[in-house]
Structure 1
């Protein structure tokens, strides 16, 4: 980020709570300053015949401290007013200097941290600090004889005052800049975080749309297959209708099953259809090819247990493909993330439901939460009206379990 951009950045103004805090703080500092004035007078600190009367000293204390009630709303004005009141109070011989000096330092710090214009704030702070040292030099030149008659003592006091004040002024100046820079960086980080969240949301949306396009492409081949078979069976039925009624009935039954399967596929996948450019057709895959996945996992070094429970039934091709892809993604995540040794894959054919259960003994992170692979699994399960569970297994490792319902007529 360029220096021009840095200077152009505007810090947001104080909140209602911060303004309320400033009001109470300014009032409290003014009260403490007045009390300290009475204590200084009682202890005869800086007492001299040149000191102003008590009412005037109280006015100088109030003029130097009370503007702090507006320190974050109008930092430029407050710093200038406090600086002028501080010099005026010292010139008139006010005996309170500790609290008013703190108010001056606070005003300089606030001007650096909250000034609306960094360039103007920097110039004002340098001008105020320069004026303070000029006044300090004038004090020792004009009033130095009142402090001590010994020139060496006066020189020592002057040197000590300059060094201490230089340290305090430098601290306030640099601290104000540091706080402003910290707030600016926090603001930049918040903007970057918002942009990152928007980019992540867009990437997730694109991933979902991409997955739906891939599912739609796969469905195209499935439906085309069913329609082609229905056309062949209809042609055979037409030729055999008069000569072989039994064969015609068999063909009609096949057409009925094919139509039911095709309609079922269309109903499930209609929401996932998207227009897309032609993409290279993937090789056919289905639940019968799960042993290929287990073989690849074994080749990668895992101990794989694969079992099928229940009597396998014919499944719609898109459902079979979805089952294959989900197991494939779960195994891939195990190989990539889980650092597992044992992989357990179970396929259960239940009454009207297919259940896939993939469990590993890794460190419980095989399906990184919110990952693109998990988005794809959710999409595939959702379009088949199924359910997906994923998370750490009670006995250790990670578990992915998917359930797909299917109609009994499809399995008959």
Structure 2
């Protein structure tokens, strides 16, 4: 009994009842238009408030509602009402406008269903409660029987008057049952008629893929720029601390390198965060390219790492995108040498180009006790992603105690 009462009068049933009343309110303009169309076709003795005119006007108005529901914005408005009032999980409903004809037809079917049931329940909600109230108090108020109030003649019988409260209560329960049943029916049909189409799911998947690509790009930029800077500063500070008393000149050089590294990193960080500033007209620092390689090598050497570089190219002749990505790959390779190789051996950097591609090779002795940190291991993946976006490759591995990284970036799209 408690479950039945909750089904008829519970919070969800009441909210769905409100949803049906909204459907009835939306149906009224279409009913008025239907009256204008149907009125001249019927006998003139029917007025606009007569039931013989209202029913055909309602039936004529529903097809008109279906036509107007073909507009794309009908679906998001209907879905919002269903989420708020019908207790349907929002993930089962489409968010955007209906842009394909199958989706529009499904939305039109939902709109007609909503307005149809809403109109009927609204009419019952207006008529039955006053009638039921009169029936309930009829045995107690004798003057109601004398005024008639349009009551049927069967109420002249005493036994009928005695049973009228039961009929009144039953009418209210029947109204609640009709409203609850209609609301449940609409809630069950909403995901089918207002749910996302395959095109909607594909568009959502593409949007999420685009968001993920932006997040991955930001993660790579932050990892390569800020991660390299922190590694370099840590090693520079550690080297300066060890020779603080014995080699003041080196300490001054290390502190200058730390200052230069942090200043440069702040500019790079501003450039990375500029991706997030949509609509922000403020200029950001440009991303570094191979033209900035000398400064990168100088900061790396200030950390105590011996780096030998061989450049068989002119950075100014390289495409800007290729130069930026190549700089990040070199930066991450040197950062890995700092973190995992330390100052135990020299690092050899070689950049050369041919007619088809730019080659990057970084070699350093592997540390017998490589340092690792929780959550690490993203650097090699980031370099691989950068090369793949340009159609290139990255290979890395340990051989004969030497860690070697080789990247090949095509100068033109489609080159091997």
TM over 0.5, shorter chain: no
**Larger Rg over CA atoms:** 1
Q: Scaled by the length of structure 2, what TM-score is found?
A: 0.30
